[in-house]
């Protein structure tokens, strides 16, 4: 596996959709390495299988990955082929509180007031947390486009503040006709793989099984 990790601009100096723009630029850069016979990165050209590419992200990165996957549908990526997407603990929000947010309101990893503050600093000026960048249900009018995403793996844990929104996201994908593999474990919390090596290995195995 070859991983291209995207370095994107940060809010509040650069608000959404700057991060989505940066992710798309990175994807188009990968394509350019293949089509540019003179200046393309030889290591990628020699070793990467561009017919089996995946868009992946964790937490806010999974939010970005979802937006990138949608934007990629508007571009000719040939010879790249996106074979699927991996959304690990995707971070979404909304104005109406969910059960998992109320249950984990003061969670030490993802306290709701801190998450609200991050959205306030990240969203475009003048919009609220029901904007489609934050609340995936805002993409219901684009059901046809969402349905073109192909295979998707969504992973989450029962102790995550965003659990309910992640499951709503899965329902959105399924309703749009996306082939979804949802892996939710009752035990666990946001970013558990950073402190529990066993969960990190389990996560890598789930992703490996999905892309193999």
Residues forming the active site: 59, 160, 190
Strand order through the sheet with 151-157: 53-58, 82-88, 151-157, 179-185
Which CB contacts under 8 angstroms, 24+ apart, belong to 13-16?
Answer: 15/121, 15/122, 15/123, 15/124, 15/125, 16/122, 16/123, 16/124, 16/133
Angstrom distance (rounded) from CA 86 to CA 62: 8
Distance between CA atoms of residues 36 and 206, nearest Å: 34
């Amino acid at each position: 596996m070859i991983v291209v990790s995207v370095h994107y601009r940060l809010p509040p100096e650069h608000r959404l959709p700057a991060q989505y723009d940066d992710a798309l630029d990175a994807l188009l850069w990968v394509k350019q390495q293949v089509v540019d016979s003179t200046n393309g990165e030889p290591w990628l050209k020699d070793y990467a299988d561009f017919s089996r590419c995946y868009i992946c992200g964790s937490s806010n990165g999974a939010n970005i990955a979802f937006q990138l996957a949608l934007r990629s549908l508007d571009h000719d990526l040939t010879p790249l082929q996106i074979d699927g997407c991996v959304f690990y603990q995707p971070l979404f929000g909304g104005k109406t509180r969910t059960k998992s947010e109320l249950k984990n309101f003061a969670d030490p990893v993802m306290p709701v007031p801190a998450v609200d503050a991050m959205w306030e600093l990240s969203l475009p000026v003048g919009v609220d947390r029901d904007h489609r960048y934050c609340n995936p249900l805002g993409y219901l009018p684009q059901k046809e486009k969402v349905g073109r995403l192909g295979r998707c793996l969504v992973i989450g844990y029962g102790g995550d503040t965003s659990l309910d929104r992640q499951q709503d996201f899965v329902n959105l994908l399924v309703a749009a006709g996306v082939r979804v593999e949802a892996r939710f474990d009752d035990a666990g919390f946001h970013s558990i793989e950073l402190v529990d090596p066993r969960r990190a290995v389990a996560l890598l195995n789930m992703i490996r099984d999905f892309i193999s």
